[in-house]
Amino acid sequence: MSISTINIGICGLGTVGQGVWKHIESNRASLESRLGVTLNLARASVRDLKKKRTVRLAASKLTDDPFDVATDPDIHIVCELIGGTTLARDLTLAALAMGKTVVSANKALLCKHGPEIFAAARRHGGHFFFEASVAGGIPIIKALREGLVANRFKLIYGILNGTCNYILTRMDREGLSYPTILAEAKALGYAEADESLDVEGWDTAHKASILAFLAHGTWVPTEKMLVEGITQITQADLAFARENGFAIKLLAVISREADTGEVFVRVHPTLIPKTKVLANVNEVYNGISVTGDVVGETVYIGRGAGQDPTASAVISDIADAVILLNRGNSHLPEPVETKAPLTPLQSITGRYYLRLEVQDAPGVLAKIAGATANLDVSIASVLQRASETPGAASLILTTHKSNEKAIRATIARLKRLKSVLGEPVLIRIADFAA
Ligand code: NAP
Ligand code: HSE
């Protein structure tokens, strides 16, 4: 029996929740006519009932108990827009246990509890949608699940965090410091409530885990990934990139070995040649390159964070959920769990950029060259720059192809040299472009 009025409950009326509310209200006529139902924004939950909201709703619709919304028998679609992995998990499971459909933008939740959530949805006949969890307004989940269903994916790489891309772009263009721009990204609603998730690479890792599952049917926990953020990047690194035809981007790389079937997921700042499309994806935009064995390379670009693009993705899930509720058939191919093997971290190969603060004294360069050669890391170029520290110099090395094991051992050895001051900065050079 078809439902003529769909009741929607929104748990979390912050940046994303208010965006969803606002855009359902403003595009109501066209959405309802396309879906053939009335969309009733029935209830919403917040933490602080007194906080001023940008959307207007009757006080009777608002509660400070998200379970009131998630388990309300009249609500058909529950949107989990709170964030975090504890309360969000509990209320998602509570709604799914009642056979409801849940729409979520929560990548941390999915990365940590994905198998449990999908199993609960299957067990109780409900559904779980998560288009907004990766790359904001870009419909990348739909692209992988539906548009590219004919493919196997040897390589997916991309900029998946709007906050980091915004920070790197503004640092590069305006020479501002990273904390100043981070404060702006927070004010614009781009950053996570805990911004260390953004700048230390974990948010990108959560999203990469979701893409790896969709592409390869295997959940890669963040402990099995290489994860580095952008907090070490300084003007010295950005200047080197600019002067040598690169841009620095925080990339997620999901690769699969053709012969062994091994999957590897890594997140790290990367020097990308300016000739590549993704090197020119700036500000809050995300960009993703997906290479399928049938389609070849496809590239997706769009705003990766913020109220409006994220609301666009959540509303697309609500529309899918309405169709599912009323036509009773899922048109979404479910990823099949394959448990693909994971590539050992140590065997990943690539070229590297290494910036060292060193004593500005004779013989220092020879010692550094010796440390790298002993460990099979071959230097491709060396650049010495003045340092802000008196008596020190900034040394920028790039290497020929090496591997994680050798470069990590080299860094450990370099750190033991008296002439190396402070923490070396390592950036990978993109050599995986399809
Ligand atoms: P937000 O602005 O911090 O909003 C969170 C909402 O949840 C607020 O309404 C807050 O209530 C409510 N809330 C928080 N803790 C609560 C608790 N313990 N009990 C009850 N309610 C609670 O966060 P957001 O930026 O909208 O993000 C929401 C989700 O979307 C997160 O999973 C995030 O990762 C994801 N996401 C965000 C973006 C983005 O650009 N912002 C993009 C994609 C995905 P109060 O308003 O009363 O404090
Ligand atoms: N904090 C996230 C970002 C929000 O900056 O990309 C979008 O997922």
Tell me the residue range of the domain where 176 lies. 151-303
Among 292, 327, 362, residue at a domain's last position? 327
The answer to the question of residue 166 being in a domain is yes
Q: Are residues 351 and 402 in the same domain?
A: yes
The answer to the question of residue 337 being in a domain is no
Rounded Cα gap, residues 127 and 217, in angstroms: 18
Rounded Cα gap, residues 300 and 312, in angstroms: 16
Kind and range of the H or E element at 45? Answer: strand 38-45
The answer to the question of residue 248 being in a domain is yes
Rounded Cα gap, residues 96 and 123, in angstroms: 9
281 touches ligand 1 (CB under 6 Å): no
Helix, strand, coil % over all residues of the chain, rounded to 5: 40, 25, 35
Ligand 2 mutation target, pool 111, 131, 161, 210, most atoms within 8 A of CB: 161
Among 303, 336, 359, residue at a domain's last position? 303
Q: Are residues 184 and 278 in the same domain?
A: yes
The answer to the question of residue 189 being in a domain is yes
The answer to the question of residue 126 being in a domain is yes
Residue 9: CATH number of its domain: 3.40.50.720
**Tokens describing residue 28:** 């109501």
- Which atom of ligand 1 lies closest to the CA of 16? 26
Of the ligands numbered here, which is closest to the C-alpha atom of 191?
2
Q: pLDDT tens track of the chain, all 434 residues?
A: 789 999 999 999 999 999 999 999 999 999 999 999 999 999 999 999 999 999 999 999 999 999 999 999 999 999 999 999 999 999 999 999 999 999 999 999 999 999 999 999 999 999 999 999 999 999 999 999 999 999 999 999 999 999 999 999 999 999 988 888 999 999 999 999 999 999 999 999 999 999 999 999 999 999 999 999 999 999 999 999 999 999 999 999 999 988 888 999 999 999 999 999 999 999 999 999 999 999 999 999 999 999 999 999 999 999 999 999 998 765 555 666 777 888 888 788 899 999 999 999 888 888 888 888 777 788 999 999 888 888 999 999 999 999 999 999 999 999 999 999 989 999 999 976 54
Choose, from 142, 207, 274, 276, the residue flagged as catalytic: 207
Ligand 1 geometric centre to CA of 108 (Å): 12
Q: Report the candidate in 288, 281, 309, 273 with the shortest Cα–Cα distance to residue 166.
A: 281
Using DSSP's 3-state secondary structure scheme, residue 102 falls into strand
Active site residue 207: yes
pLDDT of residue 331: 54
12 touches ligand 2 (CB under 6 Å): no
**Tokens describing residue 29:** 């006529």
Q: Are residues 113 and 168 in the same domain?
A: no
Q: Are residues 158 and 295 in the same domain?
A: yes
Q: Are residues 29 and 132 in the same domain?
A: yes
- Which atom of ligand 1 lies closest to the CA of 84? 32
pLDDT of residue 434: 42
- Which atom of ligand 2 lies closest to the CA of 107? 8
Q: Where are the beta strands (DSSP E) in 169-295?
A: 226-227, 246-256, 263-273, 285-292
**Tokens describing residue 309:** 């693009």
Ligand 1 mutation target, pool 45, 47, 192, most atoms within 8 A of CB: 47
167 touches ligand 2 (CB under 6 Å): no
Q: Report the candidate in 215, 202, 226 with the shortest Cα–Cα distance to residue 256.
A: 215
Of the ligands numbered here, which is closest to the C-alpha atom of 188?
1
Q: Are residues 260 and 183 in the same domain?
A: yes
Q: Are residues 271 and 318 in the same domain?
A: no
Rounded Cα gap, residues 424 and 247, in angstroms: 20
The answer to the question of residue 144 being in a domain is no
Q: Are residues 291 and 349 in the same domain?
A: no
Residue 233: CATH number of its domain: 3.30.360.10
pLDDT of residue 343: 84
66 touches ligand 1 (CB under 6 Å): yes
**Strand pairing of 392-399 and 349-359?**
antiparallel
15 touches ligand 1 (CB under 6 Å): yes
pLDDT of residue 433: 54
Of the ligands numbered here, which is closest to the C-alpha atom of 286?
2
Rounded Cα gap, residues 350 and 429, in angstroms: 7
Residue 409: CATH number of its domain: 3.30.70.260
350 touches ligand 1 (CB under 6 Å): no
Using DSSP's 3-state secondary structure scheme, residue 277 falls into helix
193 touches ligand 1 (CB under 6 Å): yes
Ligand 2 mutation target, pool 111, 181, 190, 310, most atoms within 8 A of CB: 190
The answer to whether 401 and 429 have CB atoms below 8 angstroms apart is: no
Rounded Cα gap, residues 34 and 384, in angstroms: 62
For residue 127, give the DSSP letter: E
Ligand 2 geometric centre to CA of 277 (Å): 21
Rounded Cα gap, residues 213 and 207, in angstroms: 10
Ligand 1 mutation target, pool 45, 64, 82, most atoms within 8 A of CB: 82
Q: Where are the beta strands (DSSP E) in 238-378?
A: 246-256, 263-273, 285-292, 296-303, 349-359
Q: Are residues 314 and 408 in the same domain?
A: no
Q: Are residues 238 and 356 in the same domain?
A: no
Q: How many CB atoms lie within 10 A of CB 336?
A: 7
Q: Report the candidate in 69, 18, 49, 66 with the shortest Cα–Cα distance to residue 307.
A: 18
162 touches ligand 2 (CB under 6 Å): yes
The answer to the question of residue 411 being in a domain is yes
Q: Are residues 290 and 313 in the same domain?
A: no
The answer to the question of residue 335 being in a domain is no
Of the ligands numbered here, which is closest to the C-alpha atom of 108?
1
Q: Are residues 174 and 297 in the same domain?
A: yes
Q: How many structural domains does the chain have?
A: 3
pLDDT of residue 335: 67
Rounded Cα gap, residues 429 and 99, in angstroms: 47
200 touches ligand 2 (CB under 6 Å): no
Q: Where are the beta strands (DSSP E) in 212-262?
A: 226-227, 246-256
